[in-house]
Amino acid sequence: MAAILRANRISGWKLHPSDVLGRPDIYFPMLRTAVFLDGCFWHACSKCFSKPAQNSSFWMKKILGNVQRDRKVTRALRRKGIRVIRIWEHDLEHRTHALESAIRKLRSNTQPRLHDLAGAEAG
């Protein structure tokens, strides 16, 4: 993601800031916007996720815990006035319309809305 931001000349961001709840992958302090890059397996993407055949109960507990944590972090950040954008792994891999929209919004410094940028609700 950092390479995509650099290639599109988007600046003003930090990688994994420890002082922001949830340690977002990318944080824009001036825009008060946190970007999380969610792996399709680890965060149960509705398009890509496939329930593991081996050790299924262990993995489902782990993955559902990730999803619950994502929702809590998203709500807490929003209460602090921080916008939350969640981008799925498959959007990065394929440069889909959702990712292109996110780049345009960030480049123009508009006030992004979650569904405009990532195409996914974050709780």
Which CATH number belongs to the domain containing residue 38 in this structure?
3.40.960.10
Residue 24: exposure state from Cβ atoms within 10 A (0-12, 13-18, ≥19): buried
Q: Does the residue 122 lie in any domain?
A: no
Alpha-carbon distance of 6 to 19, in angstroms, equals: 23
Q: Does the residue 18 lie in any domain?
A: yes
- The pLDDT tens digits of the residues spanning 15-66 come to 999 999 999 999 999 999 999 999 888 888 988 888 888 988 999 999 999 9
Residue 81 belongs to domain spanning: 2-117
Q: Does the residue 123 lie in any domain?
A: no
- The pLDDT tens digits of the residues spanning 55-82 come to 889 999 999 999 999 999 999 999 999 9
Q: Does the residue 80 lie in any domain?
A: yes
Overall domain count for the chain: 1
- The pLDDT tens digits of the residues spanning 75-122 come to 999 999 999 989 888 887 776 676 677 777 777 664 444 344 444 334
